[in-house]
Amino acid sequence: MPAGLRVYAIGDIHGRLDLLNQLLALIDADMEQFPATRPVYVFLGDYIDRGHWSRETIERLIEHAAEHESVFLKGNHELIAISCLSDGTKIDQWLRLGGMETLSSYGVGADLVANRKQTAGTQLAFHSALPQSHFRFFRNLREWFASGDFFFVHAGVNPDVDLAHQTEKDLLWIRHEFLFSSRDFGKIIIHGHTPTTEIELRSNRINIDTGAFATGRLTCLVIEGETLSVIDTVPNQKNCQR
């Protein structure tokens, strides 16, 4: 990592505003104890769905970015939500992945969503309820971010393709081929997308999705120089702390 830069990489939030607020407070405490020249927050995507506070989570992230240097990556859940604004046929897929909670947080009624014949109505209601600031947030999400020896992405990378030519589908959806690859990707991949009970540290990748929605554990990987440490909302002795 470049000198003076400290990255706080944060895993899948999935509408858990309570955990996001808790984790950001822990990061504030970390920076107070260990001041950083240039702290950068890198959020790995999947901010919405499943949890009850998707709208509020997006609002909190927008507020956070106004005061802190932040990078927001796109998750597969944001991809589907954005797609639903222009393609109502994607709504059923979204609902299967937890979209009902997001729609509800934006005030879209459950009765309307439950009527599968009213997908156009659901699409219009979501479009009308989505603040312009949230639309811009979704529209401006990045597919990846790289710094030093690290490549940050939501799901992972295709082992058979170099980093410069990855597709959005692989970056946001890939699992098996990536997770079981021992290949050197050229950089260490920092990712989420696949929930685990503990942070996964491999020679070629680090998975920091600790299933916050279900476990109550939202994890942040801190990278500074050659040092890695972990901050999370359910700290335990297995975490490597400063």
* DSSP symbol at 170: H
For 62, list phi and psi in degrees, rounded to 5: -65, -45
| Range 141-167 average pLDDT | 98
pLDDT tens-digit series, residues 158-192: 999 999 999 999 999 999 999 999 999 999 999 99
Query: Longest C-alpha distance within the chain, in Å?
Result: 56
pLDDT of residue 109 exceeding 70, the answer is: yes
d(CA 144, CA 77): 15
Q: How many domains does the chain have?
A: 1
Average per-residue pLDDT for the chain:
94
The answer as to whether 60 is a domain residue is: yes
Distances (CA, A) of 40 to 19, 178, 222, 223: 19, 26, 10, 10
Domain annotation covers residue 31: yes
Residue among 36, 24, 39 at smallest CA distance from 70: 39
Query: What digits encode the pLDDT tens for the residues 29-56?
Result: 999 999 999 999 999 999 999 999 999 9
State yes or no: pLDDT of 237 exceeds 50. no
Q: Kindly state the average pLDDT of the residues 188-197.
A: 97
Residue 110: pLDDT band with limits 50, 70, 90: confident
Whether residue 91 has pLDDT greater than 60: yes
Q: Is residue 242, in this structure, part of any structural domain at all?
A: no
Contact 68, 36 (CB under 8 A): no
Please, which residues bridge with residue 73 across strands?
142
98 occurs within a structural domain: yes
CATH number of residue 218's parent domain: 3.60.21.10
State the pTM of this model: 0.94
Residue 241 falls inside a structural domain = no
Please provide residue 147's backbone torsions phi and psi, each rounded to the nearest 5 degrees.
-155, 130
42 domain-assigned: yes
- In this structure, are residues 169 and 143 in contact, taking their beta carbons and an 8 Å threshold? no
3-class DSSP string for 112-165 = HHHCHHHHHHHHHHHHHHCCHHHHHHHHCCECEEEECCEEEECCCCCCCCCHHH
Domain span at 97: 5-232
Q: Is residue 206, in this structure, part of any structural domain at all?
A: yes
The token pair at 110 is: 């459950």
Strand, coil or helix: 93: helix
What is residue 235's predicted lDDT score, i.e. its pLDDT?
Answer: 66
Angle at 120 between CA 116 and CA 126, to 5 degrees: 100
Q: How many CB atoms within 10 Å of residue 124?
A: 15
pLDDT at 147: 97
In a domain, 68, yes or no: yes
Percent of the chain past pLDDT 70, that is, above it, reads: 95
